[in-house]
Structure 1
Amino acid sequence: MAGHSKWKNIQRRKNAQDAKRGKIFMKHAKDIYIAAKQGGGDPEMNPSLRLAVEKAKSDNMPNDNIDRAIKKATGDLDGANFEELTYEGYGPGGTAVMVEVLTDNKNRTASELRHAFSKNGGNLGENGCVAFMFDRRGYLVIDQNQTDADEDTVMLESIEAGADEMETLEGAYEIYTDPEEFQSVKTQLEESGFVFDTAEITMIPQTPSQVDEPDANKLVKLVHMLEDMEDVQEVYHNLEADESIMAQL
């Protein structure tokens, strides 16, 4: 569907998390902050906050850090005011790149992003320049080693829960949903006994972009540079390349 498996990319990131734990916790804290700011500090009444907290806990973020982020958002603690923004641009070879950020200084963030794009053969664009190339989807992954259910069972359960489609990979089942139905699908499948390796709302490229190897390697460097920025929450792109290159993303 997306030209390559998001799950394999997520596995690579998980293997590198220990070296970046401080930055990961900071990004989770910002995610929790903005969700609580927009929808209130009760995870039971705020699906976005509940998902942000679940993702933080999956990375072993301490409860104290989670509670502190919620309290800052609800005014119980002093803290900076963060804004959620999406930047769009073109990577090497005309690849499409979207960057979701949480920042308390838009000028600083825009300057850093512009530098990263230009340094790696791309350029930051206007709002809407590449957004039409992506679909916002709910995305769930079940590790085949973590379930006794076969492919047909997972597919039927997913359809009954309201999922749009399911794809079977080597080692995993990928389930896609409408963003509005994501939480209800996730909850229903959890009640059926399924455990998720990944559960998130993400951007899926409509048409993968194939570029030559030098440009593909430049995009890898751009994505890594963006992901290392404190304000950056997520980076999406539409690159399709051979397995050795995709394994680096």
Structure 2
Amino acid sequence: MAGHSKWKNIQRRKNAQDAKRGKVFMKLAKEIFVAARSGGGDPETNPSLRLAVDKAKSANMPNENIDRAIKKATGDLDGVQYENVTYEGYGPGGAAIMVNLLTDNKNRAAADVRHAFSKNNGNMGENGCVSFLFSRRGSLVIDRSEINLNEDELMLQVIEAGAEEMETHEESFEIYTDPQEFQNVKNLLEESDIHFVSAEVTMLPETYTHLEEQDGENMLKLLDMLEDNDDVQDVYHNADIDDDVYNQM
């Protein structure tokens, strides 16, 4: 992971979200709904709900939308059963991809994901074919232009908060934690008035696959197609794509 920045992926995802804000809010509401229904509507006692709410707030989802999703989940609402499903496969150039979904129709979800892979020079694989290439970690990303601390000052606070690692890049600081310590680290840094571009427990690749121009373009098209699917909550991949390809797309 060292030397590879999440910044490009975050910026690409943010630009896509800005263009379809309503769809993003719908996916976040579904995630909040499932977390609240399974563990209760109090974020203080339901860690999964707390993570989902924090994720929604970082995407600027209105509080009334968040409250509505929690109330729906804890009220008497029949007929809604979402199932968490993960599909794995290989994208253009052999890049590893994991797709996490919340769906009420597994057959439809599988067909849609398979179609997205095949249309963009990818292939779905068996469960476990690429998951070993990823590890579950807390990830906190800071925009360097929005923080007054220098690298050494920030590093000291990060260490004191209990984070495992901090990477420094041209445009960002990227902090990584044990998943169990994520919320505590986040809270301690926020108490120091540090704000995050992205804060989530996610799946991070252990190694990366560099893609040449055409494979990179096809990979971005595949990611966009997957993320545009209403059932898809998260897409994880290990593609290393040049800045020029991002800019062209």
Q: How high is the TM-score relative to the length of structure 2? A: 0.93
Matched to 1:156, the amino acid is: L
Contact 2:84–2:103 (CA under 8 A) maintained in structure 1: yes
Q: C-alpha separation between the residues in 1 aligned to 2:248 and 2:179?
A: 27
**Kindly tell me: are residues 107 and 152 of structure 1, through their superposed partners in 2, closer, same or farther at Cα, counting changes over 3 Å?**
same
CA contact (8 A) 2:100 2:232 kept: yes
Does the aligned pair in 2 maintain the 1:89–1:130 contact within 8 Å? Answer: yes
Separation in 2 of the partners of 1:145 and 1:240?
Answer: 24
Cα separation, 2, equivalents of 1:214 and 1:12: 18
Q: Does the CA-based 8 Å contact 2:97-2:238 persist in structure 1?
A: yes
Aligned to 1:156: 156
**Deviation string for 1:19-40 (max 9, x for gaps)?**
2011101110111112212321
1:29 maps onto 2:29 in alignment: yes
Asked if the contact 2:58–2:199 (Cα under 8 Å) also holds between the matched residues in 1, the reply is no
Structure 2's unaligned 5+ residue stretches are none
Q: Which residue of 2 aligns with 1:227?
A: 227
Identity among equivalent positions (%) equals 67
Offset from partner CA, 1:38-95 (integer Å, 9 cap, x none):
3211011122212211221233323332222212322433451111121101112221
Equivalent residue for 2:72? 72
**CA distance in 1: counterparts of 2:207 and 2:103, whole angstroms:** 30
Which deviates more from structure 2 when the two are superposed, residues 5-14 or residues 154-163?
Answer: 5-14
Distance 1:142 1:184 in 2: 17
Q: Does 1:39 align with 2:34?
A: no
**Partner residue in 1 for 2:172:** 172
Distance 2:239 2:53 in 1: 30
- 1:146-192 deviation line (CA, Å, top 9, x unaligned): 22211111111111111110011113211001111101111111122
Q: Is 1:114 aligned with 2:79?
A: no
Query: Equivalent residue for 2:9?
Result: 9
- Provide runs of 4+ in structure 1 moved above 4 Å: 246-249
SS at structure 1 position matched to 2:167: strand
Paired amino acid for 2:13 = R
Return the offset for 1:9. Answer: 2.1
Q: Distance in 1 between matches of 2:84 and 2:75?
A: 18
Distance change in 2, residues 1:100/1:3 (3 Å): farther
For 2:214 and 2:94, locate their aligned partners in 1 and report how far apart those are by CA, in whole Å: 13
Specify every segment of 5 or more residues in structure 1 that has no aligned partner in the other structure, as ranges. none
Q: Secondary structure at the match of 1:99?
A: strand
1:248 positional shift: 7.0
How far apart, in 2, do the equivalents of 1:80 and 1:243 lie?
Answer: 42
Q: CA deviation at 1:3?
A: 5.6
Contact 2:2 2:167 in 1 (8 A): no
What is the total number of aligned residue pairs between the two structures? 249
What's the CA shift for 1:246?
4.3
